């Protein structure tokens, strides 16, 4: 990875971990912050004073280009997005504007500059409901149906278009469900369960507990981003999409039970509602491509990752407004 580095979405969960990791590896980091929420990842990671924070919107092409030029950026990690499925269902227009238009505007700002890597965050949701499992990058088509999934698939295609047409050193990540300390979006499964366990409250599973997903610990996710950035200009990586996950699907019920055990609360019984809708039943990834082309393999087991995660929420329970948990 060549610095200095721009991380978009650095106030979010994954982006803040990535920015912190880049700083720890000795690179200067610039971030663009539109809003400053009460629980910003920059503050949770303790890096606000270590990064260069520019006020503005990543959808502002002129602003992004100014940041790229003035701060002599060489590597870009584009993670800024509207990342919540529920919000996307309620507000598709703003989701499309942020996730799709925001991506092409950022790439337009990058066009013509001497950059070593542009890593763009897509998602395993871009695949939609494929019949073939596990999902593999050689799938003939992406088949998303719901707003969030469609927005990520479109951004995925746009990013690879800029590599093919304009020669930008773009690489796309399709990560599975990433979890770990510092995720403040409590509508996500693992933060809800961890907080419920810390409060001694039974988590509510909105599905019937049977949907399967692949869960990736955030430190493995960040390492994959760095590995791909190191190789983005190479012929085996430039313009390619890479699945990043463990390849080991876990049911929602098993995940919840494992998290409760990691929190030392195996006595708590989750409540299964079975009311979730518009969700893909089984979704997990074939990650052979990233392993073969870069040597990357995950290092964190589910049990180890959940132990670190639930400990963080227990230690930081004061940050969250009291209330009952409600897992998926």
Pair 217, 300: CB distance under 8 Å: yes
Three-state SS for 165? Answer: helix
Q: Is 179 in the active site? A: no
Among 135, 148, 215, 217, the active-site one is 148
DSSP conformational letter for 150: H
Pairing of strands 204-205, 215-217: unpaired
Inter-axis angle of helices 189-199 and 252-262, nearest 10: 40
The Cα–Cα gap between 185 and 205 comes to 16
**How many whole angstroms separate alpha carbon 249 and alpha carbon 207?**
16
Collapsing DSSP to helix, strand or coil, 69 comes out as helix
Q: How far is CA 57 from CA 102, 103, 113, 165, in A?
A: 9, 12, 20, 26
Catalytic amino acids?
148
């Amino acid at each position: 990875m060549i610095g200095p580095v721009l991380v978009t979405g650095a106030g979010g969960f994954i982006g803040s971990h990535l920015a912190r990791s880049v700083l720890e590896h000795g690179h200067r980091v610039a971030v663009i912050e539109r809003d400053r929420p009460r629980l910003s990842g920059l503050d949770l990671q303790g890096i606000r004073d270590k990064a260069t924070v520019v006020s503005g919107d990543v959808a502002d092409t002129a602003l992004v280009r100014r940041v790229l030029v003035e701060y002599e950026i060489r590597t870009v990690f584009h993670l800024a997005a509207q990342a919540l499925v529920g919000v996307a269902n309620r507000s598709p227009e703003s989701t499309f504007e942020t996730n799709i238009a925001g991506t092409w505007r950022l790439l337009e700002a990058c066009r013509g500059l001497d950059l070593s890597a542009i890593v763009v965050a897509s998602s395993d949701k871009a695949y939609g409901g494929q019949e073939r499992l596990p999902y593999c990058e050689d799938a003939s088509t992406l088949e998303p149906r719901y707003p969030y999934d469609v927005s990520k698939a479109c951004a995925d295609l746009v990013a690879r278009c800029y590599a093919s047409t304009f020669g930008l050193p773009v690489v796309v990540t399709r990560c599975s469900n990433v979890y770990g300390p510092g995720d403040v979006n409590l509508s996500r499964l693992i933060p809800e369960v961890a907080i419920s366990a810390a409060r001694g409250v039974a988590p509510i599973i909105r599905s019937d507990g049977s949907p399967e997903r692949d869960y990736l610990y955030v430190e493995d996710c960040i390492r994959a981003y760095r590995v791909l950035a190191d190789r983005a200009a190479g012929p085996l990586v430039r313009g390619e999409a890479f699945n990043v996950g463990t390849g080991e699907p876990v049911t929602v019920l098993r995940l919840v039970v494992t998290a409760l055990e990691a929190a030392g609360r195996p006595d708590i019984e989750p409540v299964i509602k079975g009311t979730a809708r518009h969700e893909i039943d089984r979704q997990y990834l074939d990650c052979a491509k990233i392993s073969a082309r870069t040597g990357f393999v995950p290092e964190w087991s589910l049990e180890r990752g959940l132990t670190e995660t639930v400990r963080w929420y227990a230690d930081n329970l004061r940050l969250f407004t009291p209330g009952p948990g409600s897992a998926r």
